[in-house]
Structure 1
Amino acid sequence: MNPLNPKKLLLTKWTAVKPVAKQKHFLVSRVIQPEQPNDPIEWVEIEAVFSKAAQVIQWRALQDESVWRQGWV
């Protein structure tokens, strides 16, 4: 997997390896900026394409290849 940069994750596409409730394809809809401008980015909001349900996760969780795959597979 290519190294991820949290500042460039906005609008990237992801596929869940094990879909739950027909939610397989996701889009990073928002990169949550930290309160202090010097702090690193920790959280992103992903939105399911099928149901439009959104959830907030740590961006580093997207690096786990047993859970996420980059792009729509």
Structure 2
Amino acid sequence: MSRPATTQQRLNPHKLLLSKWTAAHPVKREKHFLVSELFCDEQGEVLAIELQAVLTRRSERIDWRELQNVERWKIGWT
């Protein structure tokens, strides 16, 4: 019996720095991204990340949990 497709990827937020990501639906040719910074609270828990587009060098801050959505993000550069 096959398992239903999951909509989340299991991630360790502390290992995201410098990880590579591919947008499932690129906008303005921005397909490949790199996690360039982690934003943590006083206890060291990761709250957000900075994603940088490889092509344009544009950066945006997002909640790290957004990377768990397999409909928007794929691990690695494909």
- TM normalised by structure 2 equals 0.84
Count of residues in correspondence between the two structures? 71
Which consecutive aligned stretches of 4+ in structure 1 deviate over 4 angstroms post-superposition? Answer: none
1:23 paired with 2:4, answer: no
Q: Which runs of 5+ in 1 are unaligned?
A: none
- TM-score, normalised by the number of residues in structure 1: 0.90
1:1-40 CA distance string (max 9 Å, x none): 7621111100000000000001000000001122x2x262
- Mind listing any 5+ residue stretches in structure 2 that lack a counterpart? 1-7
Give, in whole Å, the separation in 1 of the partners of 2:16 and 2:25.
21
Give the aligned partner of residue 44 of structure 1. 49
Preserved CA contact (<8 Å) 2:33 2:54: yes
Percent identity of the aligned residues?
A: 42
SS at match of 1:61: helix
